[in-house]
Amino acid sequence: MEIDERKRKILWAIIQDYIASAEPVGSRTLSRKYDLGVSSATIRNEMSDLEEMGYIEQPHTSSGRIPSELGYRYYVDYLMEPLALDQGEADLIQNEIASKIDEVDNAFAHTASLISRLTQLTSVVISQNRHSAIKMIHFLPYHKPGQIIMLTVWDDGKVENAVVDIGEEVSAQELQTLTNIFNDKVGSVSPGKLKEAVLQEVHNELVQKKYLIDQLLHSVDRMMESQEEEAINKVFYGGTLNMINQPEFKNFDKIKDLFGVFEERNKIIGLLPRHYEGLRVQIGSENHEEVFQDCSLITATYKINGMPIGSFGILGPTRMDYRRVVAMVKFVAESLSFIISSKTFDS
């Protein structure tokens, strides 16, 4: 059966009212509160059709209905209108991220906490398992003969320096030449992407300095291996206790199971997208963890220079304010991407 315009309006009204009240919605309520242009009897008939189609459910023998997972999915995909985030909230979020960005973990933790306060839901930020890329390398003279300083700037803003034994005297001009070549051939690659062909080009351009190049490449390899070992997933929560305040989670066993999953980092990491482009809304059973099948999870990835590096999400009951939460997740992911990228590439 086709969902015509009238059914769409009635389904929209049911979802809006149930999100606000957490109470089953009847035809009289819809007739009184929403300008649907039809009688209560017509609304009842349309609600019966929507129930047969699987978009609403009757939780008990009362006349009220609640949205089904299918109903929420239809609402999110076809009925929900975009919402612009309140400017005050937008400024607060951006200021919170920007003020803590020098300590990235602090920025994530504070962002998660702030968003949970604004939405009264549970927020999750994941700094994903990724390998930083080299932004640039500088080779500088050192006061000891046969040694130079290798200064490395990573794309996440981290700066490292190391003294490298090269076994021969090198002029400042030669070091500048090396710097130019490395940044042209090696810059902006991740560990494991340092192709043999690229390295061979460096050898070919400075064949007379083969030993020197070997030493420098060996140092770069060691540094990137160390970087690879340090790369881990970090999870930051905000408002985990907010779930207790939701009518859907008054059952103690349900809350206990939910909190048990919060303690299992790998399960939480598995819920959030790693390379998914854009925003994703997972409703009820679309979440593969059984304990989250009464929940909806709205997530987006944040990026540095277009490369996904982590995920942000808000978890709540399927009866959440999807318009507001979608706007919040989208804005936070964009803000994290912009502020982290600006900090990285301005440094």
CA nearest neighbour of 320 among 241, 246, 268 = 246
CA nearest neighbour of 217 among 204, 199, 234 = 199
pLDDT reading at 260 higher than 50: yes
| CATH number for domain 134-230, candidates 3.30.390, 3.10.20, 3.40.50, 3.30.43 | 3.30.390
Mean pLDDT confidence for 186-200: 52
Residues with Cβ < 8 Å from 79, sequence gap 6 or more?
A: 8, 11, 12, 15
Among 256-260, 272-276, 306-310, the least confident range: 272-276
DSSP designation for 102: T
Among 26-35, 163-172, 321-330, the least confident range: 163-172
At 281, the amino acid letter reads: V
DSSP designation for 241: G
pLDDT for 292: 84
Tell me how far apart the alpha carbons of residues 251 and 317 are, in angstroms, rounded to a whole number. 13
Among 107-111, 123-127, 314-318, 340-344, the least confident range: 340-344
Cβ pair 84, 323 in contact under 8 A: no
Topology alike, domains 87-128+233-343 and 134-230: no
Angle at the Cα of 62 from the Cα atoms of 61 and 64, rounded to 5 degrees: 125
Cβ pair 279, 259 in contact under 8 A: no
- Report percent pLDDT > 90 for the chain: 35
pLDDT for 273: 61
At 74, the pLDDT band (50, 70, 90 cuts) reads very high
Cβ pair 320, 331 in contact under 8 A: no
Tell me, which fold does domain 5-79 have in CATH? Arc Repressor Mutant, subunit A (1.10.10)
pLDDT for 201: 61
pLDDT for 193: 55
Instruction: Write down the domain spans for the chain.
Output: 5-79, 87-128+233-343, 134-230
pLDDT for 261: 76
Kindly write down the DSSP assignment for every residue of 16-56, as one continuous string: HHHHHH-S-B-HHHHHHHS--SS-HHHHHHHHHHHHHHTSE
Token pair belonging to 176: 């500048």
Among 55-64, 125-134, 190-199, the least confident range: 190-199
Mean pLDDT confidence for 114-129: 85
pTM above 0.75, yes or no: no
Strand extents, DSSP E, 196-344: 234-238, 279-283, 295-304, 307-317
Please state whether beta strands 234-238 and 147-154 pair in parallel, antiparallel, or not at all (unpaired): unpaired
Q: What is the pLDDT of residues 3-34, one digit of tens each?
A: 999 999 999 999 999 999 999 999 999 999 99
Q: Please, what is the average pLDDT of the chain? A: 80
pLDDT reading at 192 higher than 70: no
Token pair belonging to 193: 């992407």
Tell me how far apart the alpha carbons of residues 79 and 347 are, in angstroms, rounded to a whole number. 44
Give the number of C-alpha atoms closer than 13 A to the C-alpha of residue 107, restricted to the C-beta side. 21
- The CATH architecture annotation of domain 87-128+233-343 reads 2-Layer Sandwich (3.30)
Tell me how far apart the alpha carbons of residues 336 and 152 are, in angstroms, rounded to a whole number. 24
CA nearest neighbour of 130 among 262, 283, 275 = 275
Return the number of other C-beta atoms located less than 10 Å from residue 143's C-beta.
Answer: 6
Tell me how far apart the alpha carbons of residues 164 and 2 are, in angstroms, rounded to a whole number. 72
> 172 — alpha (psi -120 to 50), left (phi > 0) or beta?
alpha
pLDDT for 229: 43
Tell me how far apart the alpha carbons of residues 151 and 148 are, in angstroms, rounded to a whole number. 10
